Amino acid sequence: MIIRGEKVFLRPIRPSDFPKLAAWSRDREIARYVGGQYPTRLEEYAEWHRRLQSDRHSHHLAISTHDDVLIGHIELDHIAWRSGDAELRIRIGEKSFWDQGYGTDAVRTLVEYAFRSMRLSRVYLRVFTSNVRAIRCYEKVGFRKEGRLTRPGPDGRLATILLMRITRADLAARRRGGRRDPRAEAKAG
């Protein structure tokens, strides 16, 4: 399965991606925003990948440019099929692709896929308030701020986490120029 966006395509993770994924996990600048969610050692990735493939409550994809350069990883996790909820996470590991719209396109592409093909109704995420680049990306796609939590960050100090979400109705309203459809909102809620 390949999901095409304007700048990226989302594809299954391949074993040939493991070295880059492991390198990104060891990079302090990248890891400070995603914590210890991913293995750091290359030899751990085969087992990690096997577990993901058998988990119907998560959907992990590689982010590649249209010429198949791996630049990141995106996922829907904690998929609750009955309520239609899922948590989104993303990391753009190739720093030369930061601030060029690749992350925004990957998030938009996966959110549209989640609502259209997976029939989900709500996608939410957690982001450190210090991660201004990510917040800007999520807001461009249509995510709205819902609340805040204070938790220990990756460095052990207290950090503020912003809770954001987008619904199928929110995305449909953005396409209509901001006008909300009460029927679509009732179905999404």
> What's the pLDDT tens digit per position in 2-22?
999 999 999 999 999 999 988
pLDDT > 80? residue 39: no
Check residue 40 and give its pLDDT.
75
User: Residue 100 has which token pair?
Assistant: 């060029």
Say if residues 172 and 188 touch (Cβ distance below 8 Å): no
> What's the pLDDT tens digit per position in 84-129?
999 999 999 999 999 999 999 999 999 999 999 999 999 999 999 9
Check residue 153 and give its pLDDT.
73
For the whole model, what pTM was predicted? 0.86
CATH value at residue 94: 3.40.630.30
Q: How many structural domains compose the chain?
A: 1
Integer Cα distance of 115 and 70 in angstroms: 25
Amino acid letter for position 51? R
Question: Which domain range does residue 63 map to?
Answer: 3-188
Question: How many angstroms separate the first and last alpha carbons of the chain?
Answer: 29
Check residue 29 and give its pLDDT.
80
